[in-house]
Chain A
Amino acid sequence: MLRAEEQGCERVGGLVGAHASPATCFLDARRRVTRYAGTIPQPGQNSVALPPLDSSQWNSPWRAFGWGLRSITQTILTIVLFVTYLGIGALAHDTHFSLVWALASTLFVWAGPAQIILITTLGSGATVIQSAIAVTVSAIRLFPMVVSVLPLMRTPMTKRRELVFAAHLTAVTLWVECHRFLPQVPRERRIAFVHGLGCGLVSVCLVANTVGYFLAANLTQTLGAAILLLTPLSFLFSTARNSREVADVVALVLGILLYPLAAKMNSGVDILVSGVVAGTIAYGVHWWREVRA
């Protein structure tokens, strides 16, 4: 299913080559698909149960929304999200945030890393500005994701405001799933499909938050600790899994090792210090390899 999309890209690439527009190249999903190749099930291996493109099932946008909603049962990432948000709910409880606060963060932030950065920094006494800086740096990666995913649903008739909600729903899970599902959805129904898929995933996470919050409140200390441990474990492994380039791996390993050192300075911006230092060294490694290559 990705193959058809790729051929399309090649044709577009050939046509626009004369204009030498970097934008077209950027909109090409292939490079990102390669980076996340391990997380995207291969065509044929795991075919998605959607109606054929010319089916009358796609005539109504509401039906398309329903198919999107149902598609959350077609991916293992739904379980990963559930576990992650179970941990976030428990983390919010043990850092003394209210349940509504935790649910509002899922609904309006809708980015796991930003949420745990926000909860952890605010919980350990950082100021609003310090937390905002850490969150915004973690969120920059959403920019290229939105840029690459929206063209998959755009038609010549699509107005920008129709894409606002789809842009809000864009996070790594939805982005991976869009590349998998959208080739099997007629273009004019893709926005409705993505709204359904996104709403389904958000609902799963809201339920997980609530369950995690109450488990943390009512379980024995040991089981409560086990739920809290889900957050670092699931984030560590999903980030490691998405690390395809050397710079990503170096940033991950150094970021973990440098934090305890930075914490000794007790500056209040420990996370930012260790993050910028580790990230810059990782970039240096990337640059050094590029120069030598």
Chain B
Amino acid sequence: MSFAQAIGDWHALAVLFVAGVIPNQIWRMLGLWFGGGIDEGSELLVWVRAVATAILAGVIAQIVVEPPGALASVPDTLRYGAVAAGLVVFLLTRRSIFAGVVTGEVFMLAGTWWLG
């Protein structure tokens, strides 16, 4: 990989700051400046947290339903099956993130191998 390739284009880096760094960082700095003014139990924050969780859930679904790059080579049923298998083990092991992730990965790899 060349130096220029590693950096990529400057436009993408500018987008990173405008769409990623500033919208994210603003909340930390607000917390630093106005800390203590808002109760986490307040109804507004309960709603905000629910929406934020749902947006993250949507992104998780998007990666599995409309997969990027190499993940697109895995058949739909295998991707859904891997997440479902991981979820079952995650719940059975009293919420072990590690057991869930390993099961999902093993399911997908075994399935790909089995399907040839």
Interface residues of A (CB under 8 A from B): 22-23, 25-27, 31-32, 38, 76, 79-80, 83, 90-91, 93-95, 97-101, 104-105, 108-109, 111, 113-118, 120-124, 128-129, 131-148, 150-151, 160, 163-164, 167-168, 170, 216, 219, 221-222, 224-241, 243, 247-248, 250-260, 262-263, 270-272, 274-280, 282-283, 286-287
Partner of B53, one of A123, A221, A234, A252: A252
Chain B binding site: helix, strand, loop or mixed by DSSP? helix
Partner of A247, one of B28, B50, B104: B50
Interface size on B, residues (CB 8 A): 81
- Min CB distance A220 to B, Å, is 9
Interface residues of B (CB under 8 A from A): 1, 5-9, 12-13, 15-33, 35-41, 43, 45-71, 73-74, 79, 82-83, 86-87, 90, 95, 97-98, 100-101, 104-105, 108-109, 112-113
Partner of A228, one of B67, B87, B101: B67
A239 touches B16 (CB 8 A): no
Task: Known contacts A122-B15, A252-B53; decide if A146 and B35 are in contact (CB<8 Å).
Answer: yes
B53 touches A282 (CB 8 A): yes
B62 touches A109 (CB 8 A): no
- Give CA–CA (A27, B40) in the complex, Å: 10
A99 touches B53 (CB 8 A): no
- Min CB distance B109 to A, Å, is 6
B51 touches A225 (CB 8 A): no
